[in-house]
Amino acid sequence: MTFDAALALRMITNSRLRTAQGWGEYRDLRGALCVTSDAPIAALNCLGDFGTDERSVESLLDIGFALLRAFDCAPAAELTPLDRPAAVAEHLLRRGLIIESRRSWMAFRSDAASIATNRDVEVRVAEPDDARTFAAIHGGSESWVKRLSLSTTLTGMLEPGNTFYLACIDGQPVATLHLLRDGTTAGIYAVGTMKAHRRRGVSSTLMARAISDARAAGCDVVGLSTEGGGYAEGLYAKMGFERAFESQLWVAAGRV
């Protein structure tokens, strides 16, 4: 897919909106954003959304990294093709940061009806009483994910545009998905299936339902992000998602 800056901005804005609903707190540094979180991962404790000039990069990094250290976080930054100036990466290299991981941002370019589904899977919208179940499935073995997922799910249920889905087999919830609609843009998050029920078309059935609902609500962009080059990217590509752009997470060399 040819890079489309307007599309990228819509997808990134949707993702930032989701993060701000309890996953992390943003601070505007007037040239970049700094996000901090209780989550023990660099992606939610970093600088991003750079929009400055070459003369201001170093002072902006000084302020941003000092803020991260104040929250006991090491220097980190997320870069996308929208960040300016283009030389931000060179400044990070000179400060000893390296690329830890890459994310593929994908947009749906097909028809939801073409996604293979499993008729034995029932998809329903989660209610507040389902929040603990949603968090338990989404969090898996990670206690911090379960904790944040529970609080953000309950918060999101009170905010417009959020729909939380559970996929059930024989009445038992086995998978999750969160759809966040922001105007005509929809983002897909929190896709998770219990290990015993994977590779049975559960997640694709959830995807088909969420995409259909987003389209019916007037969304002409449905996107998600996942580990670049990972298994999930290939699975999403088979469903009809195409890579729109890539982001890189830069961290201090000693953290890798």
Query: For 193-228, what is each residue's pLDDT tens digit?
Result: 999 999 899 999 999 999 999 999 999 999 999 999
Percent of the chain with pLDDT strictly greater than 70: 99
pLDDT band at 256 (very low <50, low <70, confident <90, very high): very low
Q: List domains and CATH numbers for the chain.
A: 5-105+247-255 (no CATH), 110-239 (3.40.630.30)
CA 235 to chain centre: 17
**What pairs with residue 226 in β-bridges?**
104
The dihedral through the CA atoms of 197, 200, 204, 206 has a sign that is: negative
Residues, the chain: 256
- Decide if 248 contacts 79 (C-beta within 8 A): yes
pTM of the model: 0.95
Residue type, 251: V
| Strand order across the 33-36 sheet | 25-28, 33-36, 46-48, 76-79, 241-252, 97-108, 221-227, 185-193, 172-182, 162-169, 121-125
